[in-house]
Amino acid sequence: MTGWRKEIIKKFTHNINKVVLVYDSNYLLNDDLVLHELEQMGFDVIRFDNSISFRFLYEKEYRSKQTDHKLLIYTNDEDVVFPYEFIEQSIEITLSVRQLFPNIPTQIVQSLNSEQLDLLYTLYPRYQGISDADALKFIVEHLFKIPYEIIDTEADLYKWLLSMHYANTELPEIVKEYVTEKLQKIYAFESLPIKKLIQSRAYFFQYLEDIWDQYVTNVAKVEENQTQEAAFEYTKHPLDHNDVRRIMSDLFMKGKLTKASHIENIEILLNWMHISIEEG
């Protein structure tokens, strides 16, 4: 057992009490690996929601049976009062994310899934902030590696959004709000629905399909008319960025994005565009 889980397990390692009562307001005992380790240590882990359901379970499963197993009774509600008969013979333990990450606001830590919590534990020794804002900035930049400070063009924005939504990255709401606030301040994104593009994978893909379809149509018209505007269409449009093109091509090939409407004379378009256009 390593990482933050080891810190949790250490609290139970040398316990000699038959009953352990645990106040676990941040649901740390809900982790499968922690539960498995406690079971290996001889604990029967029971969640205490209310005295009636617990009493029924205890009478049915434990009182009349001889067992060497120890009882670990836990609750996520600090206002819950355990039955007196158990308090008399038990030791009480409190678990919280504040014990693991004392300088990171609980609200932020609670928003992370198990994998993200594992990563935060490895990163935490590097954290030197003193405020909630410092903590959130650290999480965004170091845990999620969101380069919001260097995203200042539509191509940069689409590249990041494509990478995030393609990987189906799970961003906590507090992180989405932070990045949205930062990007909405950029003049180049003034007319873009930044919040929706970040919040919804489905919305972003639909948005991308729409502007791709329009882009292909415009380029086709320019090529058909043989005007000098073609160079602008190919080199200035954000969808023509190499990284954007590469990720979009993967999405089109895998059917994650719907190809543009059929162009009658597809040969007039550049080869890299063909894979993303519906064949007639």
Indicate yes or no: pTM above 0.75: yes
* Mean pLDDT across 160-172: 94
Residue 51's pLDDT band (boundaries 50, 70, 90)?
low
pLDDT in tens, 6-35: 999 999 988 778 889 999 989 999 999 999
Cβ within 8 Å of residue 266, ≥6 positions away: 274, 277, 279
More confidently predicted of 226 and 109: 109
* Res 229 pLDDT > 60: no
Q: Which residues of 22-52 are buried (b: 16+ CB within 10 A; e: fewer)?
A: bbbbbebbeeeebeebbeeeebebbbbeeee
Cα-to-chain-centroid distance, residue 244:
22
**pLDDT at 213 exceeding the cut of 60:** yes
- Does residue 232 register a pLDDT over 60? no
Comparing 143 with 89, the larger pLDDT belongs to: 143
**Is 60 exceeded by the pLDDT of residue 65?**
no
pLDDT surpassing 70 at residue 234:
no
For CATH 3.40.50, the residue range(s) in the chain are 3-100
pLDDT digits (tens, 9 = 90+) for 243-257: 998 998 899 888 888
pLDDT above 80 for 107:
yes
Please compute, for residue 224, the number of CA atoms within 13 A of its CA located in the half-sphere on the CB side: 10
The total number of residues shown for the chain amounts to 280
Q: Is the pLDDT at 224 greater than 70, yes or no?
A: no
Average pLDDT over residues 43-67: 69
pLDDT band at 227; cut points 50, 70, 90: low
Give yes or no for a contact between 179 and 122, defined as CB atoms under 8 angstroms apart. no
pLDDT, tens only, 184-206: 999 999 999 999 999 999 999 99
Cα(241)–Cα(212) distance, integer angstroms: 13
What pLDDT score does 140 carry? 97
Taking residues 150-164, what's their average pLDDT? Answer: 96
Q: At 81, list the tokens.
A: 């009062």
Q: Is 3-100 a domain of CATH 3.40.50? A: yes
| pLDDT number for residue 57 | 66
| CA end-to-end distance (rounded Å), the chain | 58
